Amino acid sequence: MFQFGPKELNIEDRRSKVAELRVKGFSSAEIATLLAEKGFVNDKGSAFSKVTICKDIKAIKKSWVEKYADQFELMQKRHFEEILMLKKIFWKEEDYDKILKLLSHEAKVLGLTDQQNIQINNANTMALPVITITCDEDL
């Protein structure tokens, strides 16, 4: 895992820990729990809420997009190519558990988990209720 420092975290240190845990695949709820389990608190001595962690994740994403704006589109394309490659492998292996997880991830990457209306064709439009994206799907 990673080394924890002092028990009280300022915003920069907290976001650093949040980013580190997020890239390892932890959700905002899991991150909040992990920080609490390790005894990390805010300046009032309270555990960090999931809302705070969600705000951190959004701020981290924004800074990453700004920092890597020129590379972001290329990284998205590369990521999608990796998804396609893995999908082929998992179908050949008939690993349906991994296929389902990958399809779910692919839907998030394509933005299909956003609340939206889906066009069936030009003549007919059908509004389908779709899960509203949460901060855990933001990254």
| pTM check: above 0.95 | no
Structure tokens at 132: 């509203």
Tell me the pLDDT tens digit for each residue of 29-57.
899 999 988 888 887 878 888 899 999 99
C-alpha to C-alpha distance for 80 and 78, rounded to whole angstroms: 5
> What integer pLDDT is reported at residue 136 of this predicted model?
54
H-assigned helices in 25-136: 28-37, 50-67, 69-93, 96-109
pLDDT band, very low/low/confident/very high, at 19 (cuts 50, 70, 90): very high
Do 99 and 90 meet the contact criterion of CB atoms below 8 Å apart? yes
Percentage, residues of the chain above pLDDT 90: 29
Residue 125 is given by DSSP the state: E
Do 35 and 47 meet the contact criterion of CB atoms below 8 Å apart? yes
